[in-house]
Structure 1
C-alpha cells in the first residue's frame, strides 16, 4: 500500500492505532471498535475483531493501544475504567483477552511497550501515577507518583534503556529512571497549559511535547532541558509523531477545530511543510509505516486512512507572497510579487523555484520582494499620555472644565481645549438660574435676562401705591411692574433702600418718548399720553447695549433718562381715531379705564406679566459632540467628558451599551500605554456595573511546592505534603522572602525582587540551575 491514498470506514470512531513490528498490520481501538487490519497494496483487510464474546464490558472501551515490538502477538490497551488489558493473538479461543491489570484507580490515558524489553509495559493514568508492569507477574511491578493531577502520556527513551518521560496536565515534563521509582531525576515546566502527548526523536536526544497552548516544543535533553524549537499551531495539539529518516520533520493532529494532519519542518515553524486534509473530523491517532512517504491515521469520522506523501498539499507553495507589516515605530514593510520589471537574477531564481517538484522534501522558497518605508516623523501620540495623566475627572464641573482645557491646550490640542470651555458654558452656569440669583447680580446676567424676557402690556393703574414691590417681582417674573416717565414731572432723585437694586432696562425703540421709573418716595402726577388696559399687545423684543447697562448699574443717584432721543421738530398731533373705531378694540375696556390724549405728555408702560422664559437645552448638541469625537477615534475626549458630566449625563439620549463601549475602549487604550493608575480611576468613576466591577474581579494564582511539586492547597507558604517552605526561599540568597516575592511562572522558582532583577540583568537561565529560560520583566 504505497501507491495511493486509501481508507476504510468503521462502525464507530477510534481513539488510537498502532502498527506491528513489520508494519504489515494495524490495530485500531476505541469505545466501540477494536479491530486488526492487514495492509495490502490497494486496500485494508479486516483480520480479527477483538470486540467479541458474551461479556462486553468496559475493558473493551479503549483510550489507547500499543503493539509489542518484539512479541508480535502481544497487545495492550488502556481502558476507560482504569484497567490495563493484555491481549494474546495466539490464544486458541475466540476471546483474545490474556490478563487485566486493575492497579489504577482512574482512567488510563496511555500504555507503551519498551523498545528492547518485550516484558516491560508502562502506563499513565488520570490518577497521577505511572505503573510499570512485568507481563510475567499479575500485578504492577513498580509505581511512580508524579504528584500531579493526571499523566497524559508516557514514552520509553530509545537512547537510554532505563529512562522514560511522562507529561502531565499541569504543563510539566518529568524524566524517570526505572530503577528509582521514589523520585524523578529531572523535572521542568514545558508549557503554560496541559500537555497531551510527547514523542522521543529516533536519532537525537530530543523530546517533542504537544500542549493545549497551541504549541509543539522540541526539548534538547542531552544536558539541561533547553527548548530548541517551537511550532505554533492554530488549535490545541492532541498527537505528535516524528517522521522517520527526516530529522527536522514531525507530524501532528489537533485536539479540536482542525481536521488536518500537518507535517512540520521545525526550522520553519509558522507554516506546515505538508498537509493532509482527507478527514472530516479531528484525527485521533498517527503512525508512520517506517517509511517517510506513508503513514496511517484514524479519526472521529469513523475512518482509517493510509496516506502517501505525494498526495499531500503544500501550504507554503500556496501562501500569499504579498503582505504588509507595521512595527511600533511606524515603519512599514511591504512584500510583493516579482513583477515584469524585476532584475534578471530575481527572474531566474523564480524560474528555478517553479521547476522544483512538489513531491520532494525541500521547502518551497518564497519569490517576494520586500520594500521598507521609514516614517521620520514621530508617530507616538504624546498628547494622549499627557492628557490622560493631567485630566481631572471628578469635582465641580467649573473646575474640571477649566483645568482640562488648560491641560489640553498645553498638550497641543486646542480644539479639545475649546470643547471643554464650551461644556463649561453650557452646564456650569445654566441660564435657568438667572432669575433666581441673589441681589448681587452681575451685568452680564442682567443682559441675558432681558434678552430672554418677553414683555406684555396691561392695565395696572391702581398699583401705584405698591410700586417697589411690583418692580422687584417684575424682575423675577412673578407680578406686573410699572414703567413711567414724563415731560414736566417734578420728582426727587431718591434711590431705593436696597443698595443692590438694579434699575429698569428699557428698549431702544422706545426712544421716541422719555421714560422714567417711579420709585418709592418719588412724587408723581397721574397723567400721561397712553394708558392700556387688560388687553394684551404683541410681545416686544428688548435690545440693550453694554454702555447702557454700565449707566444703569454704576450710576446709583441719577436714574433719569434723556427726555427724547432727538429734539422734536414740531408738536406731535393726535391723528388717532376714537377708540370705538378700532376694529380690534376689546369690548371689555370701558371709558373709565382707558383714555387717549393727544398732548405731548408723559406715558406709563404697564407690565401685566413677565412669563417664565424657556431656556435652550444643550443636550442634543452634547450628544452629537460625543459621538463626533468617538467617530474620529478620539475616545479619550468622549469618555472624559462623559465622566466629568456626572449626574448630568442622565439627560443624554445615548444607549448604555454605547457608553460602556466607550469606557472599555478608553480603559484598553490606557492599558496599552501602561497607564494603570488612570485606568483604575476610570473604573472607580464608572457608573455602569460591568465596568465598575472590573477591579473587583479576583486574580487566582496557582502555586506549587518546589520541593515535592504538589499544589499548595492553602494560602500559607507551608506545603501540606512535605511540610517545607522551600518555595518561599530566595533562589539566590536562600533566605525566606518576607514581603514581595517574584517568581517565574514557567519553572516556579523565584526570590527577592532585587536579587532576581540583578541576576537577570546579566543572565537568562534560572538561578537554581533547572535550565529554564525565565522571562523577568
Structure 2
C-alpha cells in the first residue's frame, strides 16, 4: 500500500477506526468527520460539523469508535461533556446521549472491548466515570485522588479491569465492579503520565510520560519494569504494533514531529521513523495490519503510512566508537564484515535456494534489527608521563583555592601550589594574573573612573612642582637610591635637596639645566599601565613610594621661589621658555660655542653665585588641558592565553583562572559566554571522571553562568524500596505505607537497624551496613537474604 493523506480545516486532535478498519473518524476543535479508507485515498462519508445546531459538544478532545457496533461514536468534549453519536440518524438526532457528569475537560473516552453499551471516560477533575448508553447518567464514579486523569484503557485480558494514568506519575488498576478503591497503584514515572496502552498478547502495560521515557510494565503479579525506552521529547501517545510483540509506536507532545516505531529491546534508537507530518502528531491507529497505520496531526492532516516508506535510523548508526578513560586506556569498537567461508563449497545449494532466500529476506528483513557486528578492543598503554600528569591534575584540583580571598592572595597561593607540584609555567601564569588584576589594577580602575568624573575641573589641583628633566626620571630615581648619607646633609634632610634651590644649588648646575612641570610632583599611583614604573614590577623595592613622596614634599619646599602660579591660573598650565630664570638679559643671538668657552660652569670649590630672577618668565607653550594617562587593558592577552591552554588540553588552568578573576571577568568582553560554559563544563566532567565530586560541586557553586550553576538544582534524590513488599518509599519515616514494616532499614546480614551508611540493591531492594555488604560480596554473588537475586556490588 502507498502513503497518502487528506488535508483538514483545522488541527486534528484524535482519530479512531471502526471494528473492520475500513472507516476512520477524526475530531478536533473545528473538525469532526468520518472517512472511508480506499486503496489510495480517503473518501469523506459525513461531516458532523455541518449540522445547523453546533455547540461546544462538537469540539472533540478525543474520539472512540465502538468495537462491536459501527453505528456508535463517542467524543470527549472540552466543556466536560461526553457525547455519544449514532451515525444511522440524521441532524440533531445524531447526538443520542450528552453526559454532563464531569466538571472539567474530558481527556479520554473509550468503549468497552466486549460490552457494546459500556463506556468509560477520564477527566481533568480527577475522576473516571462509567457509562451505560441505556442510562442518562454515569453508572459508576471512580475517584483517583489526583489532579487529572490523562488516559483510561480497558484491559483486553480481563473484561472487568481498566487502567488509568495521572499527572502525579502514578498508574492505577481498577475493577469496574469495585469503584470504592483501586486494585493496584504504583508510581511509574517522575513526571505526568500522558498515555498508556495494553499489549494485545501479554499482560504488559506501556506508559508514556513527560520525563521522556516509555516504560513497559509486566502486571502478571506485582508491577515489574521490563523495558524502558529513552526519547528526545515528552511522549503523548503510544500504541502497540499488532503481530509484533516488541514493537510500539509513539508520538511526541513537543519538538519531535516524527512518529517512531520502537523495538523495546533496543531503547535508544527507533526501529522505524516516519517524518510526513509537519507538526506534532496527535494520534496513531493500526489498521490490523502491522505494515499499515493511520495518524493525525496538528498540521491539519490525516495520513495513512506504509512501512515500505519508513526510515531506518539504526541503519545509519555508526557501529564504530572509541572511549578513553583517565588512566589512558582505550576501548575501540569496530565493524566486522561477516564472510561465509563455505560459499564455494555450497554453490549448487545456493543456486537452488536463491529465489526462496530472496523472497524470505524481502518479507522478513523489514521486521528485523539492522544486523551489524562489532568487535570491542581494549588498548592499555602504561605511560609514566601520562600517569604523572593525572597525578598533577588531581593534586592541583585538590589544593587550588578558588574563592574566599582577594585575587592577589588566590593567585599567590595557586602559584605556590603549581610550583610545588612541578608546574613552573602554570606558576608563572598565576603570577602574571596577580600582577595584571591585583589590587593595583583595581585601584587604578577606580582612579580612572574618578578622573573621568572630575575631568575638566582643575580648581582643586595642588600647586605644581618643578622636576628636573635634564637627568630624566629614571636617573633621578637612581640618584635618589645611590645617594650617600653624608651627601644628604649638604643641601637638606632628604636626597631631594640635591635638586633644590638651597645652599648647594650651584653645585648641581651642571646637572640641572632644564625642568619639566608635573602635576603634584610624581604621580601618587605610579604604575606600568600609567606609563611610570612603580614597586616590585620595575625596581624591586617597596620603599620607593616613600622616597618619591618625600621627594615631592622637598620639591614643594625647595622651589617655593619659582612657584609663581596662583590658584586662579592653575587651570591654564604654562611652560616657561627656560627651566630657570635667565641670569642676564640676552640682547642678541649667542656666538658659536667655540668662541665662548663654558667658563660659567661652576666648580665644586667655587663660591655659589647669587642671581636675580624675573617675577614672571616669558611663556612659550601653553597647555590648557593635560593629557590623560590611559590604563593598559591586558584583556586580549589574557583571553589568548586562556584559549592557548584550552587548545593544549589544559582546561583546568583556563577554568580556574576564570573563577578566580571574579568580578574582573567583566573586562574579558571578547570572551564569549559559550566558550566559558564549554570550559567550565569540561572541567566539571573531568573532575567527575576522577571522582572529585566535592571539587566539582564547588566549581558549580562558583559558576556565574545559569547553565552551569543550575546543575546543582537538579534532583539528586534516591527513593529506596521496602525490603518486605518492594513498595517505593517516598516519605520520610521508619514505616512503609503499605505493609507498615520497618524492616527496610535493617541490615540483611546482622538484622540490626542501620544508623550509618546504608547500601542497597536496586534490583531486590535488600541492603545493609556498608561493611557487612562488602564482606558478604567478597565471597558471595547472591543476595544475603536468600531471595536468589544476583546483586551487583561495586
TM-score of the superposed pair, with normalisation by structure 1: 0.66
Which of 632, 646, 652 is residue 636 of structure 1 equivalent to? 652
Does residue 1:728 correspond to 2:726, yes or no?
no
Write the mapping of 1:129-168 to structure 2, written as runs, cut at 5 A.
129-168=127-166
Say if 2:592 is the partner of 1:594. Answer: no
CA contact (8 A) 2:76 2:109 kept: yes
Instruction: Tell me what 1:20 maps to.
Output: 18
For residues 213 and 429 of structure 1, the distance between their equivalents in structure 2, rounded to whole angstroms, comes to 49
Q: CA deviation at 1:82?
A: 0.8
1:52–1:95 CA contact under 8 A, matched in 2: no
- Pair 1:189–1:454, CA change in 2 (3 A): same
Q: Kindly indicate whether the alpha-carbon contact (under 8 Å) linking 2:491 and 2:498 is maintained by their aligned counterparts in 1.
A: no
* Aligned residue in 2 for 1:404: 414
Deviates more, 1:666-675 or 1:405-414: 666-675
The structure 2 residue matched to 1:118, chosen from 116, 119, 135, is 116
Matched residue, 2:401: 392
Aligned to 1:225: 223
Of the three residues 45, 48, 57, the one matched with 1:47 is 45
Contact 1:471 1:480 in 2 (8 A): no
| Cα distance in 1, alignment partners of residues 276 and 332 from structure 2 | 35
Between the aligned partners of 2:698 and 2:376, the Cα distance in structure 1 is 44
Instruction: Give the 3-state SS of the residue equivalent to 1:316 in structure 2.
Output: helix
Structure 1 counterpart SS, 2:80: coil
Matched, 1:363 2:368: yes
Equivalent in the alignment of 1:474: 495
Q: Is the 8 A contact 1:163 1:176 kept in 2?
A: yes
Q: How far apart in 1 are the matches of 2:595 and 2:192?
A: 96
C-alpha contact (below 8 Å) 2:335/2:372 kept by paired residues: yes
Where 1:317 maps in the other structure, the secondary structure is helix
Q: What root-mean-square deviation, in Å, do the aligned CA atoms of Structure 1 and Structure 2 show?
A: 5.3
Q: Secondary structure at the match of 1:468?
A: helix
Bigger mean CA offset, 646-655 vs 61-70: 646-655
Residue 426 of structure 2 corresponds to residue 416 of structure 1: yes
Query: C-alpha displacement at 1:106, in angstroms?
Result: 0.9
- Alignment correspondent of 1:183: 181
Cα distance change of structure 1 residues 337 and 84 upon mapping to structure 2, 3 Å threshold: same
| Whole-Å separation in 2 of the counterparts to 1:483 and 1:298 | 105
- Aligned pairs for 1:303-342 (under 5 A) are 303-326=301-324, 330-336=328-334
Where does residue 535 of structure 1 map in the other structure? 513
Partner of 1:84: 82
**Gapped runs of 5+ residues in structure 1?**
434-449, 459-463, 485-525, 539-579, 605-613, 707-716, 718-724, 743-750, 768-772
Per the alignment, in what secondary structure is the counterpart of residue 128 of structure 2?
A: strand
Q: Which residue of 2 aligns with 1:573?
A: none
User: Are the structure 2 counterparts of residues 694 and 150 from structure 1 closer, same or farther at C-alpha, using a change threshold of 3 Å?
Assistant: closer
CA distance in structure 1 between the aligned counterparts of 2:509 and 2:630, rounded to whole angstroms: 32
Matched-pair contact (CA < 8 Å) for 2:436–2:634: no
- Pairwise CA distance, 1:83: 0.6
Structure 2 distance, partners of 1:535, 1:284, is 94
Contact preservation (8 Å) 1:63, 1:108:
yes
Equivalent runs, 1:373-772 vs 2, <5 Å: 373-377=378-382, 381-393=390-402, 394-395=404-405, 400=410, 403-420=413-430, 453-455=474-476, 467-468=488-489, 470=491, 473-474=494-495, 479=500, 532=510, 534-536=512-514, 583=592, 594-595=601-602, 619=634, 625-641=641-657, 661=677, 664-665=680-681, 668-669=684-685, 672=688, 675=692, 677-678=694-695, 728-731=733-736, 754=755, 757-760=758-761, 763-764=764-765
The answer as to whether partners of 2:165 and 2:195 remain within 8 angstroms in 1 is yes
Q: SS at the partner of 2:145?
A: coil
The verdict on how the C-alpha distance between 1:325 and 1:96 changes in structure 2, with shifts beyond 3 A counting, is: farther
Residue by residue over 1:187-218, the C-alpha shift from the partner in whole angstroms, topping out at 9 and shown as x without a partner, is 11212222221111111000111222222211
Contact 2:170 2:193 in 1 (8 A): yes
Structure scoring higher RCO (CA < 8 A, sep ≥ 6) equals 1
Residue deviations 1:272-319, cap 9 Å, x none? 323333333322121112222322222222222222333333333344
Kept in 2: contact 1:730–1:752 (CA 8 A): no
Contact 1:531 1:596 in 2 (8 A): no
Does the aligned pair in 2 maintain the 1:150–1:168 contact within 8 Å?
A: yes
* 217 and 699 in structure 1: CA distance in 2 versus 1, 3 angstrom threshold: closer
Over 3 Å counting, the alpha-carbon distance change for 1:476 and 1:326 in structure 2 is: farther
In 1, distance between residues paired with 2:630 and 2:78?
78
CA deviation after TM superposition for structure 1 residue 228, in Å? 0.9
Kept in 1, the 8 Å contact 2:14–2:63? The answer is: yes
Q: Structure 2: how far apart are the matches of 1:197 and 1:127?
A: 17
Answer with 379-388 or 136-145: which moved more.
Answer: 379-388
Correspondence for 1:493: none
Secondary structure at 2:489 match in 1: helix
Number of the residue aligned with 1:32: 30
| Change in 2 beyond 3 A, CA 1:281/1:643 | closer
Q: C-alpha distance in 2, partners of 1:475/1:691?
A: 59
Q: CA deviation at 1:266?
A: 1.8
Post-superposition Cα deviations, 1:356-405, rounded to whole Å, max 9, x if no partner, equal 74542541443454352423337783333322221234447776555434
The aligned residue for residue 500 of structure 1 is none
State the distance in 2 between where 1:702 and 1:131 align. Answer: 36
Does the CA-based 8 Å contact 1:764-1:775 persist in structure 2? no
Q: Does the 8 Å contact 2:760/2:766 carry over to 1?
A: no
User: What's the CA shift for 1:469?
Assistant: 7.0
Deviations 1:747-774 (A, max 9, x none): xxxx99748925448944799xxxxx99
Name the counterpart of 1:214.
212
SS in 2 for 1:637: helix
Q: What is the deviation of 1:81?
A: 0.8
Change (3 A) 1:105 1:455: same
SS in 2 for 1:136: coil
**What stretches of structure 2 of length at least 5 have no aligned partner?**
444-470, 480-484, 517-588, 609-628, 723-728, 746-751, 769-789
Contact 1:314–1:358 (Cα < 8 Å) also in 2: no
Distance change in 2, residues 1:689/1:478 (3 Å): farther
Structure 1 residue 186, shift from structure 2 partner: 1.0
Distance 1:454 1:702, change over 3 A: same
Q: Could you say what secondary structure the match of 2:84 adopts?
A: strand
Counterpart secondary structure, 2:475: coil
Q: Does the C-alpha gap of structure 1 residues 31 and 765 become closer, same or farther in structure 2, counting only changes over 3 Å? A: farther
| Matched residue SS, 2:11 | coil
The offset of 1:104, in angstroms, is 0.8
Counterpart Cα distance in 2 of 1:391 and 1:173? 50
- Structure 1 window deviating more from structure 2 (312-321 vs 239-248): it is 312-321
Give yes or no for the alignment of 1:11 onto 2:2. no
Residues 642 and 98 of structure 1: is their aligned pair in 2 closer, same or farther, counting only changes over 3 Å? closer
* C-alpha distance in 2 between matches for 1:347 and 1:476: 108
Instruction: Note closer, same or farther for the CA distance 1:456–1:585 as it changes in structure 2 (3 Å cut).
Output: farther
Q: Report the count of equivalent residues.
A: 617
Q: Deviations over 1:554-598 (max 9, x none)?
A: xxxxxxxxxxxxxxxxxxxxxxxxxx99846999x996x63469x
Q: Tell me which of 265, 270, 273 is aligned to 2:271.
A: 273
Q: What is the CA–CA distance in structure 2 between the aligned matches of 1:774 and 1:149, rounded to whole Å?
A: 38
Secondary structure in 2 matching 1:142 = strand
Farther-moved stretch of structure 1 (123-132 vs 224-233): 224-233
Which segment drifts farther, 635-644 or 185-194? 635-644
Selected match of 2:297 from 299, 302, 317: 299
Larger Rg: 1
